Structure 1
């Protein structure tokens, strides 16, 4: 017989046991930021090859939108408001990594990019580039996510991707 909420201590122990068996997902949160010319903000991480959208991995129990805000403060010294969700992408296990959920948020247009420079050792560079250049600089996985984010902006609604595609 399973415990019931009538016995809070037993009920919480029962729920904790179930929680311990549940899958844990890694969460990534990035942001699409443009300048007044429509160029896309990219960052060049020092810990992996290639360019990326600004953002990073969420910490334990951190909401994705807070993770991307934190990453932007840590890496670029900027507080950038988020205008909404553009993409959710379930990423299949790859290499040594388990699956993850990746979010891309709309960071709107940044008008003052004078102070846009790395503030920690995780980035070597940050700059605005034309969309086509951005597509060439990022990984294939990020390119699919970037393309979906741009489509979501145009369509006015978020997109769900399954490992970078809508073919699910």
Structure 2
């Protein structure tokens, strides 16, 4: 049974869908957005009613050219409002790719990105904001959790 009170005014949800990808050397894939300082994990916001794992895969492909199947989560990070609205960030496990995997970054005027590259873990504090480094460090340390869609594992 649907309770109309629950759907009358649903809360605004800002959901960040990020992807953690490493190469065989263990370096972490990061993108360099022109709209903020430092490198970040590839990803972006989910559209209305878009499953988060699909949003993450869509952004990863658009930003780097990589097509990866995302079936597990590594971290969930709530970011309170400061410069940006508050949001819940989901970090998906993109797995490991070959060291020579080509990356295709669209032109800056279309993507807002200055580039993408794999960064050694020891260099992350030098190229990322502290909160971003903490997010990646947690993703490195944690085991994966399955992504469910209506109670079923994603295919």
Confirm or deny a common fold (TM above 0.5).
yes
Aligned-pair distance for 1:77?
1.8
| 1:126 match | 116
SS of residue in 2 equivalent to 1:31: strand
Aligned-pair distance for 1:104?
0.5
Aligned-pair distance for 1:36?
0.8
Tell me, yes or no, if structure 1 residue 100 matches structure 2 residue 90: no
| 1:47 match | 35
Aligned-pair distance for 1:108?
0.8
Superposition RMSD in Å: 1.9
Structure 1 unaligned regions, length at least 5: 6-11, 159-168
User: How many residues were matched structurally?
Assistant: 142
Structure 2 unaligned regions, length at least 5: 146-155
Cα shift readout 1:36-95 (whole Å, capped 9, x = no counterpart) = 111111110122221111111111111111111100121112202225110011222223
Structure 2 counterparts to residues 9-48 of structure 1, below 5 A:
15=4, 17-48=5-36
| 1:166 match | none
Q: Indicate how the Cα distance of structure 1 residues 96 and 103 shifts in structure 2: closer, same or farther if over 3 A, else same.
A: closer
Quick check: which one's strand share is greater? Answer: 2
- Given candidates 148, 153, 167, the residue that maps to 2:138 is 148
4+ residue stretches of structure 1 with deviation over 3 A? Answer: none
Q: Indicate how the Cα distance of structure 1 residues 20 and 47 shifts in structure 2: closer, same or farther if over 3 A, else same.
A: farther
The normalised TM-score by structure 1 is 0.75
The normalised TM-score by structure 2 is 0.81
Give yes or no for contact 1:75–1:120 (8 Å, CA) kept in 2.
Answer: no
